[in-house]
A = this chain, B = another copy of it.
Amino acid sequence: MKAKDGEIKARLERFERTCREAGIKLTHQRMEIFREIAESGEHPDAETVFHGVRERVPAISLDTVYRTLWVLSDLGLITTLGAPRERTRFDANLARHHHFVCTACGLTRDFHSDVFDDVRLPDSVKALGRVERTYVEARGLCNACYAATTKEKRKNGTKKTAPRGKEK
C-alpha cells in the first residue's frame, strides 16, 4: 500500500466514471480487482491480484481476474509493465540503446538518444539497489497499426486485435 488515500480515492472515482461512460457494468468483482491494484504500490501480476481480492471476495475466480484486467487495460484505467500479452523477447545488442514498442502488434525497434544516455538517475533509485542498465521504452502504435485502428474506429471492445507477437 504505497499510494496515498487521496490518490486511491481519486483512482476509484475515475474508475466508476469511466465504467459508466463506457457503458459496462460496475460489478463487485471489478471494483475489488481495480481497488487491489490501485491500492498497491507494487505492480502485481494476475495471480497476486487474485490472491489479494480473494480475501475480500472468496468466490472470485482467477479467470475473472484475467478478463477484468484486460477490460481495465482496454479502458485505459491500468497499464501493463513491458509489452502486453507478449512472450519474452531477446536482444543481442549490448550497446546502449532504447526501444520503440507497438502495443498492438509487438513490433519493436531500437533507437538511440545521446540526450537520454546522459541523464542521471535520481538518488531515490540508488537507494533501491544497484542499477546495471537503464533504457527508455517508448510505447505507442506503429504506423501500420495506427492506420488499422483509425479505419476500424475501435469496433472491437475487447481488443481481440492484439496478436501474439510477430513482426512485419
Interface residues of A in 111-149 (CB under 8 A from B): 111-113, 115-116, 119-122, 124-125, 128-143, 145-146
What number of copies of this chain does the assembly contain?
2
Q: Is the interface of A mostly helix, strand, loop or mixed?
A: mixed
Interface size on A, residues (CB 8 A): 78
Question: How far apart are the CA atoms of A38 and B3 in the complex, in Å?
Answer: 42
Closest to A103 in B: B132
Contacts of A88 in B (CB 8 A): 45-46, 80-82, 84-85
User: Hey, which chain B residues are within 8 Å of A161, CB to CB?
Assistant: none
Say whether A92 contacts B38, CB under 8 Å.
yes
Please tell me which stretch of A20-28, A54-62, A93-101, A152-160 contacts chain B, meaning at least 4 of its Cβ atoms lie within 8 angstroms of it.
A93-101
Chain A interface (Cβ within 8 Å of chain B)? 2-3, 11, 34, 37-38, 40-49, 69, 72-73, 76-94, 99-103, 108-113, 115-116, 119-122, 124-125, 128-143, 145-146, 165-167
